[in-house]
Every structure is written in C-alpha cells, then in structure tokens.
Amino acid sequence: MEELSWGNILARMFIQLGPVWIALIVLFALSITYKRRLGLYGKLFDSTIGMIGFALVMFWVFVGIFGGPLDMLVTHDPLSQVSGMKNKLPGTPMSRAEEGEYAYFLLGGDNLARDVFSRLIKGAWIVVQIAPVATLFAFMVGITLGLPAGYYGGRLDTVLSFLANLILAFPVILLFYLLVTPEIVLTGIPNYMALFLFIFPLVFVGILLNARYYTQPSVRTPLLIGVLGLLGWLYLSLVSTNGAVVATPTYSIPGLPGFLDLFDIDPGILVVFVSVVFVNAPTVFRIVRGLAMDIKTRDYVAAAQTRGEGPWYIMLWEILPNARGPLIVDFCLRIGYTTILLGTLGFFGLGLASESPDWGTTINAGRRLLALYPHAAIAPAVALLTLVLGLNLLADGLREESLRD
Amino acid sequence: MGLFILRRLGVMLLTALCLTFIVFWLTNLYPNLEKLAKTQGNFRMSDEAVASYLDKNGYLQPMPVKFGQWLGVLPGWIHEEDGVTTGRCFSGGTPQEQRPAYCGVLQGDWGYSTVFKDEVGSIVSTRLGLTGKLMFAVMLLMVPMALLVGVLAGMREGSKLDRSLSTFSIASTATPEYVSGVIFIAVFASSAFGLKWFKGSATSAMENATFENFTLPVLTISLYGMGYIARMTRASMTEVMTAQYIRTARLKGVKFSDIVLKHALRNALIAPFTVIMLQFPWLLNGVVIVETLFNYKGFGWLLVQAASNNDIELLLAVSVVSVFVVLVTQLISDIGYVYLNPRIRIA
C-alpha cells in the first residue's frame, strides 16, 4: 500500500469523524428552528461570530464525548506502540495491518510509534472533562466569597481582597511548580485544598435554597436535607480515596468507606484540578465583587431591603441574576483560559502522567523533534488553538447579543 | 497622593512578605527537603543519612527560625561536630572573629544555589539581564503593533477593517505561547516545510542576538500579549470616537486623519497604558514558556531549573524578583492612571 495524499487524509478523517458531523448538524438544525424560544442561547444563532465559535466548541465537545467514554472515533489504541511506525509522516500505511484493523496512521506516528490521530481524540476528552468542571468550581468559590465582599464591604472585603491579590501576585507557573509535584502530593496538601475548595458548591447551593424557601419551613427542610445529602455524598466520594480523605506516609484521616465511594480520582488529576481552581478563583472573586458593588446601589435592591429580605436573599436572588450577563461571558472566556493552563501544565510535564494523551503533554513530547517531525506536536497545538479560539468567539458573540437588549 | 503611595507601599511589603513565606514553607516541607538531600548526596541515602545531612545543614530547625535567618533578622545557624564548625554565614576555614552573625536578604546576602554551586545574587542578575534583553525587544514590537491594530480597528466601529482586525486580536489572545511557538518553529525553522528562515533555538542569541535567532521567541511572546492590548485600545478608541467633541470636530470639517491623530488618540491611550503595565506579570509566564521552548537561558529558564530541583534559596530569590515585578507594575499602573486621568486626580 502506498502513502495517502493530503486530500485523501482529509477525506478519511472527515469520514472517521462522521458521528460528530451528524451530531453537530442535528444540534444546529434544532437550535435554529427553535431559536426564538431559547432565550440568550437562541439569540446566539443571530450572530455569525457566535455561531462559528459555538460550532468549534461543540465540535470538540462531541469529539471528546464520542471518542472518550463511547470509544467511537479512534482508529488505534492511543497507548499501544506499533512497530515500524515511529515518527512516520501523516498518511503512512501500517506495515502489517491485521484483519479489521485500520490500515493507516492518519496523522502519522509519534516518537514512541503511537497513532497521533487517536491520541488527539482521547486528549480532547481529558480537556473537555476537566476544563469546564474546574471553571465551574472556581465560579462557585468566587461567587460565594465575592458576593458578601462586595455587598457588605468593610473589613470582610479588605481581608478577602488582600488574600485574592496575594494569590494573583504569584506567577502562575511558579505556583504550579510548587504545588504540582509528587513531593507535595505526598504531604497531603492537595487533599486539604480539595477539602476546602470543593465544599463551596455545597455552601452555595445550601444558602441559595435556604434563602429562597426560608419562609416555608415545610418545603425547605426536606428539600435541603435531600439536596445537601446528595451533594454531601458526592463531595465525600470526590475527596476520599481508598477510604481516606488525606493519606500520607505518617498519618491518615479516614473518609468515606470504599463501598460507599462512588468514584476515585487519580492523585495526579486531583492536584491539577485543585491548582487550576485555586488559580482561577481569585479572578472570579474580583469580577463578582465589582459587579456586586455596582448592583447593590440599584433601586430593586433598596426595595428588597425595605421589604425586609435577608442579606443572602438579596445577594443570591436579586444581585446574582442581574449579574449573569457578564458572568456567562466570563465563564466562556475562563474555560478557554483553563484549557490554556491545563496545556501549560502538560507542557512542563507537571501533574498528568507522561503517557497521558492530553494536548499539553503531547506538545511537550513532540517539541523535542520539532525540527524534523513537526506533525506530532502540530496536531494537538492546532486542536488546542481551535478550541480556545472557539470559546473566545463564543464569548464575543454572547457579549454582543446580551448587550443588544 | 503621598499618603496613597505610602499605604500602597505598606500593603506591597506585607504581600511580598506573605508570599515569600508561602514559597519558603512549601519548599521546606519534609518530602522536598528529602529530595534535596538525595540530589545533593546520592539517591540511595538511607533515612538516617538524609536526616543527618539535613541536620548538619540547618534544614531541621523550626520554620519561622529558618525564615528569620533567611530574612536576616535572626542570627544564622552554627553547627559543631567533631571539632569542625560549620555555619550558615561562613565557610569552613573562616577564623572565629571574622564570622558574621547575620546573613540574610536584609544584609544583601541572597544565599547559595545548590544546583549551580554559585552565589544566588550573581546568578539571578545575569539571567535577569538576558531576560531584560528579550523583554525589551518584545515591548518594542508588541506595544506599537498593538496600539496600531487597536486604533485602526476602533476608529470606524463595525467597518470591514474593524471586523478583520478584531478577529485577528481574538485569534492572537487564543493562541498560548506554547502553541504559537511550536507552529512558528515547525513552519519557519523545520525541514518539513522547507522554509528555513529562522532558527528554532535562541541559545546563540544570549551572546549575539541576530535577526535570525531572536525573531521567533520575540514574535511568540508578543503575539499572545498583543491581542489583549489591541482589544482594550479598540474599546477605548470606539468610546472616544462617539464623544461630543469628536462630533463637533467632524461638523467643523476637520479631516478624518486629523481627528484621529490630534483629537482622539491622546484620550484613547489612557486605558491601554494601565493594561500594558498590567501585562508585565503575564509576560513573565510567556517568558518562562518561550525560554524553555527556545532554550534561551534567562530568568524563566532559571525559574524552571530552580523549581524542578528544589533549589530553595535560588527559588526564593526568583520568586522575590517576580513578585516584586508584579507589585511594582501594579503600583505604577495605579499611579499612572490617577496621573493621566484628571477626573480621578481631582476627586
């Protein structure tokens, strides 16, 4: 068999990604048909920039979902090494393809003779999984601390702002180098940080519901018990591994026993996750604090105060909904920034295992042979670029549409 | 104004102190010290050997005491064993009367690097000089380009030029340095595309920076920072262009180029000034990535070396310098903003 030409490679990749195209077309057809009933999301389809951005983002989301848990799009195993395929150019046929095996390395082989195309797709799942969830956690922390800081002001604000500025003054890479090392994982510090940072969604949801249904105890009490019980279970499964919350060589703090533990998180992933949340939260805090300070002078806040509403009700049910526009836009931008941070961590070989297919690690592995075989590093670089670009364009489209009314 | 600067300086000092203590604490955790002992001695050291090495070199004292010694407010440790006296502030053979009691940052002694086997002060200043050269070139390219793109995009909002330049700025902010650097090297320096215009390594640029070996690193850093400054400039320019006095000038029949250059530009450049100053800390990130990618042994490269080898005193000096850069640029941007904007200055 001979090598494929570039046109051929693109056509084959197009076919291989078939399920993604179908999902994208269905999503867009449905959204455009019902766009008048879908609020801000529907309005996105009035702006070309926003639509392009959304298409790019959803492309990678579908690639991640189909390629990751559903295991569809990949042509080869992302970790297995195939003899004779080391550093081969895109479109190289496999020397001894067995029956039923895909006969080509569509985007070539890397320096360990693994298929670049399959690694790219598996890597998309890691990014699509971690970046939005980490951003969401950062938002929970930022909102829960930023609202009271902006609303009450005074000493609380001074202390919290000082702490936020303290973290912001740290060069991000230095912080990563200090936090994301195997030695620090041994001391259990990431586990303590996880304990602290992951409690914020619980606090947030608890206060949110309590403030709303405070006057109807018969609704509030069962609701709070149910929701907080479920979230608490998730929280405990998240922070405890092998029945311990913090396990160091010298001591350990017991956590949820193994049979109740829903999922275990790899300590490498946990430390990456925690540090990304830690770096992002102060910026969100500053944004929320600024918005709260601005909105608390409005008339509807004064009206709520006169009605005798509690401070948390005003913060979460009067101020927060009115700050949603800028926050949604910033959420999109921040997912992009988180993706960049994850790539940075991979680029310096911190946190994730060296054979992990995520894009940053792959770029790091490919850059040593950049002058001779650039394809192994360029493929994930272009992937990361398009995803972040898509998120930025999406944020731009959302901003334009939310300013229009 | 004087009181404002004084207060800011106080907060700055407190921040710097807290941050250095955090770095100190993290680098002095026992697993990190163990790693240090093993890299200094050998990797098969027993636990007792590690403990005795650490004790001999003063690493096992309580954390606040060690921090005080590093700062220079507490006397340095002295260790006596088998009649041989070693200490933090002197080397083996120094006679008793010449031994200084204090040696810390306040005395101007930044300590000794365990990786480079040299004084930290001199290492940091050499590397900072090299990074200074890089940053100077970056500023020279980035700031004028960003302002030009921003002003051109913002002078006619919604025009074709505005749309294409804005998309370009968004694309440049979406391209982190490790992506653009990899693409630049692949396209302009590798044999795969055949355009061998530039060099993919900037090691030779440390002594002798030429167009060939310095272009790619400078371009890579500039590109990421440029988009953000350009977008801020555009936003501020569009706001100025809708102001009353611009309309008056247009109605008087002033040429469009004169309106942009003489009336609008000066007011539109206040906001980008603060943004440019606040970009410095961000550039530091870019510097670390680019210096690693292009193998340019400057300050960012030093940070990576110090952090990956847990070279405590070098890492502390590096973080003091970088935190100082961040805080000073914040201060300058605040003062500059107040100074440039009369509405805030008078209020």
pLDDT tens digits, A73-107: 888 887 777 777 777 778 777 777 676 677 778 78
Residue A69: per-residue pLDDT: 82
Q: Which of A138, A86, A146, A158 is nearest to A331 (CA)?
A: A138
Tokens found for residue B272: 């980008």
Comparing A240-254, A380-394, B207-221, which segment has the lowest mean pLDDT?
A: A240-254
Phi, psi of B203 (to 5 degrees): -60, -40
Residues in chain A: 405
Give tens-digit pLDDT for A309-359.
Answer: 889 999 999 999 988 888 998 999 999 999 999 999 988 888 788 788 889
Burial A211-250 (b: 16+ CB within 10 A, else e): bbeeeeeeebeeebeeebeebeeebbbbbbbeebbbbeee
Smallest Cα distance from B163 to chain A, Å: 10
Residue A315: per-residue pLDDT: 92
Q: Which of B311, B58, B270, B309 is nearest to B150 (CA)?
A: B270
Instruction: Check the CA dihedral B165-B170-B174-B178 and report its sign.
Output: positive
- State the alpha helices, DSSP H only, in B57-119: 63-71
Residues of B numbered 39-78 whose beta carbons fall under 8 angstroms of chain A's beta carbons: which are they? none
Please list every residue in chain A whose beta carbon sits closer than 8 Å to the beta carbon of residue B284.
171, 173
Asked if the Cβ–Cβ distance from B23 to A178 is below 8 Å, we say yes
Please list every residue in chain A whose beta carbon sits closer than 8 Å to the beta carbon of residue B34.
183
Chain B CA closest to residue A359: B179
Please list every residue in chain A whose beta carbon sits closer than 8 Å to the beta carbon of residue B29.
183-184, 187, 189
Asked if the Cβ–Cβ distance from A392 to B174 is below 8 Å, we say yes
Please list every residue in chain B whose beta carbon sits closer than 8 Å to the beta carbon of residue A171.
281, 284-285, 288, 303, 319, 322-323, 326
- Angle between helix axes B299-308 and B120-155 (nearest 10 degrees) is 130
* Integer CA distances (angstroms), A201 to A10, A136, A145, B243, in order: 44, 9, 11, 44
Smallest Cα distance from A218 to chain B, Å: 48
Instruction: Check the CA dihedral A258-A260-A263-A267 and report its sign.
Output: negative
- Nearest by CB to residue A173, choosing from B179, B186, B303, is B303
Smallest Cα distance from B302 to chain A, Å: 11
CATH fit for domain B120-346, picks 1.10.3720.10, 1.10.150.130, 3.40.50.720, 3.30.465.10: 1.10.3720.10
Residue B191: per-residue pLDDT: 75
- Block mean pLDDT (10 aa), chain B, length 347: 83 88 88 82 79 81 85 78 71 69 79 84 89 89 90 86 90 90 85 75 77 86 89 87 88 88 82 77 85 89 87 87 85 78 61
Asked if the Cβ–Cβ distance from B281 to A171 is below 8 Å, we say yes
Mean pLDDT across chain A: 86
Residue B345: per-residue pLDDT: 59
Answer yes or no: is the ipTM higher than 0.95: no
Identify the band that residue A138 occupies on the pLDDT scale cut at 50, 70 and 90. very high
Asked if the Cβ–Cβ distance from A378 to B183 is below 8 Å, we say yes
Asked if the Cβ–Cβ distance from A169 to B323 is below 8 Å, we say yes
- State the alpha helices, DSSP H only, in chain B: 2-27, 30-40, 47-56, 63-71, 120-155, 160-173, 177-188, 211-241, 244-252, 256-258, 265-268, 270-293, 299-308, 312-340, 342-346
Asked if the Cβ–Cβ distance from A392 to B310 is below 8 Å, we say no
What percentage of chain A reaches a pLDDT higher than 70? 98
Q: Calculate mean pLDDT across residues A62-72.
A: 86
Let me know if B194 is exposed, middle or buried by CB neighbors in 10 A (0-12, 13-18, 19+). exposed
Count other C-beta atoms under 10 Å from residue B278's C-beta: 18
Smallest Cα distance from B273 to chain A, Å: 19
B295/A contact by beta carbon, under 8 A: no
Q: Strand B78-81 relative to strand A104-105: parallel, antiparallel, unpaired?
A: unpaired
Please list every residue in chain B whose beta carbon sits closer than 8 Å to the beta carbon of residue A166.
15, 18-19
Please list every residue in chain B whose beta carbon sits closer than 8 Å to the beta carbon of residue A183.
29, 31-32, 34-35, 310
List the single best residue of B26, B28, B203, B220 to mutate versus A (max A Cβ within 10 A): B26
Smallest Cα distance from A224 to chain B, Å: 38
What percentage of chain A reaches a pLDDT higher than 90? 37
Count other C-beta atoms under 10 Å from residue A76's C-beta: 21
Residues of B numbered 14-33 whose beta carbons fall under 8 angstroms of chain A's beta carbons: which are they? 15, 18-19, 23, 26-27, 29-32
Residues in chain B: 347
Chain A CA closest to residue B281: A171
Asked if the Cβ–Cβ distance from A371 to B19 is below 8 Å, we say no
Secondary structure of residue B19 in the 3-state scheme? helix
Give the H or E element holding residue A234: helix A217-239
Under 8 Å between Cβ of A111 and A366:
yes
**Residues A8, A163: Cα–Cα separation, whole Å:** 55
Chain A CA closest to residue B305: A177
Identify the band that residue A241 occupies on the pLDDT scale cut at 50, 70 and 90. confident
Give me the amino acid identity at A346.
Answer: G
List the single best residue of A161, A162, A370 to mutate versus B (max B Cβ within 10 A): A370
Using only C-alpha atoms, chain B has a radius of gyration, in whole angstroms, of: 26
Region for residue A309 given its phi and psi (left: phi exceeds 0; alpha: psi -120 to 50; beta: otherwise): beta
Q: Which of B214, B183, B174 is nearest to B198 (CA)?
A: B214
Asked if the Cβ–Cβ distance from A184 to B32 is below 8 Å, we say yes
Asked if the Cβ–Cβ distance from B288 to A171 is below 8 Å, we say yes
**E strand intervals along A43-126:** 92-93, 104-105
Asked if the Cβ–Cβ distance from A170 to B323 is below 8 Å, we say yes
Please give the interface size between A and B, counted as residue pairs whose CB atoms are below 8 Å apart: 139
Chain A CA closest to residue B34: A183
- Nearest by CB to residue B289, choosing from A166, A169, A344, is A344
Residue B105: per-residue pLDDT: 79
Please list every residue in chain B whose beta carbon sits closer than 8 Å to the beta carbon of residue A351.
none
Asked if the Cβ–Cβ distance from A177 to B27 is below 8 Å, we say no
Residue A85: per-residue pLDDT: 74
Smallest Cα distance from B65 to chain A, Å: 21
B172/A contact by beta carbon, under 8 A: no
Task: Tell me the DSSP string of A282-306.
Answer: HHHHHHHHHHHHHHTTSHHHHHHHH
So where are chain B's domains?
2-107, 120-346
Tokens found for residue A344: 């940075």
Give tens-digit pLDDT for A139-184.
Answer: 999 999 999 999 998 899 999 999 998 888 888 888 888 888 888 8
B288/A contact by beta carbon, under 8 A: yes
Identify the band that residue A365 occupies on the pLDDT scale cut at 50, 70 and 90. confident
List the single best residue of A6, A89, A176, A183 to mutate versus B (max B Cβ within 10 A): A183
Residue B32: per-residue pLDDT: 83
How many distinct helices (H) and strands (E) make up chain A? 18, 4
Smallest Cα distance from A171 to chain B, Å: 7
Chain B CA closest to residue A393: B170
- Nearest by CB to residue B175, choosing from A171, A348, A385, is A385
Say what the pTM is: 0.89
Please list every residue in chain A whose beta carbon sits closer than 8 Å to the beta carbon of residue B176.
340, 343-344, 384, 388
Chain A CA closest to residue B231: A396
Give the H or E element holding residue A2: none
Instruction: Check the CA dihedral B93-B98-B100-B101 and report its sign.
Output: positive
Give tens-digit pLDDT for A14-44.
Answer: 888 888 899 999 999 999 888 888 887 888 8
Identify the bridge partners of residue B112 per DSSP, sorted by sequence position: B119
Tokens found for residue B333: 């941007």
**Residues A115, A112: Cα–Cα separation, whole Å:** 9
B303/A contact by beta carbon, under 8 A: yes
B317/A contact by beta carbon, under 8 A: no
Smallest Cα distance from A137 to chain B, Å: 22
Share in percent of chain A as helix, strand, coil (round to 5):
70, 5, 25
Task: Tell me the DSSP string of A147-181.
Answer: HHHHHH-HHHHHHHHHHHHHHHTS-HHHHHHHHSS
**Residues A380, A383: Cα–Cα separation, whole Å:** 5
**Residues A191, A245: Cα–Cα separation, whole Å:** 7
